[in-house]
């Protein structure tokens, strides 16, 4: 039994019926737990199409996709929605926060979708995540009263609330200035290192991609290159970041690897 997180085999995607666009022409890739990968490639090469299929937001025209050992191509829409809510997190270029809700409420939103009953435990977990992304003092601000970078950090906390094993991000910093971009990526790497959450991030930013563990290059609907990036040594990275304090276990977490905060 393999513990591969994601196994995609020969994925194709054809948009349209009269005029057909072959957006994916046979993409195969595996993602392992805790991996931090970047997808790069020219505009129109199929990055978003691939990410949406890997995240089960779209169904491929053909091919097989296994996530956590389950063949998701066979699931119904409702089963998929449940599966996504439990196992996957998403961060988009435009954060899609609900403007009338506070930072805290936005982070809790996926848990409300999962179950109508909010719990105190979840609220404290959401606060902890907002603290982790540096927004301790903005917990009760409405989304509209936050800067672009702060809103994106709320979206990152929201992606983490259900403790997904895999987070898919489509140009998560495409809308941010270069300094905030660096901060957001540092945060993603920090989360990757601390919680062992795997990331697949579409980016146009070569500098950012170079900091991944792996770079996947796409061209014309195909993966043309797939290679290890120089990356950041996970131990070095770990030494550079402050340990996360876990209120539930009442201690600082400083060990690398899979750490359950709850």
Binding site for Mg ion (CB under 5 A): 48
Which one of the spans 16-24, 81-89, 239-247, 251-259 is the region binding ligand ATP (CB under 6 A)? 16-24
Residue (57 or 68) nearer to ligand ATP, CB: 57
Site for ligand ATP contains 127 (CB under 6 A)? no
User: SS3 for 262?
Assistant: coil
* Separation of alpha carbons 87 and 64, rounded Å: 18
89 is an interface residue for ligand ATP by CB under 6 A:
no
48 to 77: interface string for ligand ATP, x by CB under 6 A:
xx----------------------------
Query: Using the rule CB under 6 A, is 172 a contact of ligand ATP?
Result: no
Q: Of 169, 161, 136, 146, whose CA–CA distance to 99 is shortest?
A: 146
The residue to which tokens 């903005």 are assigned: 138
| Angle, vertex CA 139, rays to CA 135 and CA 141, nearest 5 | 110
Among 2, 3, 17, 43, binds ligand ATP (CB under 6 A): 43
**Whole-angstrom distance, CA of residue 42 vs CA of residue 222:** 12
**Closest to 241 (Cα-Cα) out of 199, 198, 188, 168:** 188
Residues 35, 257: Cα–Cα separation, whole Å:
11
User: In the complex, what is the shortest distance from the CB of residue 208 to Mg ion, in angstroms, rounded to a whole number?
Assistant: 15
| C-beta of 191 vs 223, nearer to ligand ATP | 223
Strands 244-246 and 251-253: antiparallel
Shortest Å distance, C-beta 177 to ligand ATP:
20
C-beta of 21 vs 124, nearer to ligand ATP:
21
91 makes contact with ligand ATP (CB under 6 A): no
Site for ligand ATP contains 38 (CB under 6 A): no
Which CB sits closer to Mg ion, 47 or 138?
Answer: 47
Give min distance, CB of 16 to ligand ATP, in A: 5
Nearer to ligand ATP, 44 or 149 (CB): 44
Residues that bind ligand ATP (CB under 6 A): 15-16, 21, 23, 41, 43-49
């Amino acid at each position: 039994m393999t513990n591969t997180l994601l196994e995609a085999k020969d994925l194709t995607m054809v948009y349209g019926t009269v005029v057909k666009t072959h957006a994916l022409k046979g993409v195969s890739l595996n993602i392992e737990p805790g991996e931090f990968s970047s997808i790069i490639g020219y505009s129109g090469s199929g990055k978003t199409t691939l990410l949406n299929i890997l995240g089960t937001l779209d169904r491929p025209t053909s091919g097989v996709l296994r996530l956590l050992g389950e063949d998701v191509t066979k699931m119904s829409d409702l089963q998929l929605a449940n599966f996504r809510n439990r196992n996957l997190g998403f961060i988009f270029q435009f954060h899609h926060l609900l403007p009338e809700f506070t930072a805290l409420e936005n982070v809790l939103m996926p848990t409300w979708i999962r179950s109508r009953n909010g719990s105190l435990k979840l609220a404290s977990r959401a606060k902890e995540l907002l603290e982790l992304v540096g927004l301790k003092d903005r917990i009760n601000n409405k989304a509209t009263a936050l800067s672009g970078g702060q809103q994106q950090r709320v979206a990152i906390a929201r992606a983490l609330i259900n403790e997904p094993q895999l987070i898919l991000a489509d140009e998560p910093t495409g809308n941010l200035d270069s300094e905030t971009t660096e901060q957001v990526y540092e945060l993603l790497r920090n989360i990757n290192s601390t919680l062992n959450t795997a990331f697949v991030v579409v980016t146009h930013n070569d500098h950012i991609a170079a900091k991944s563990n792996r770079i996947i290059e796409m061209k014309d609907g195909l993966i043309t290159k797939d290679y290890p990036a120089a990356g950041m040594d996970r131990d070095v990275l770990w030494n550079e970041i402050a340990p996360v304090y876990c209120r539930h276990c009442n201690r600082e977490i400083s060990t690398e690897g899979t750490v359950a905060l709850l």
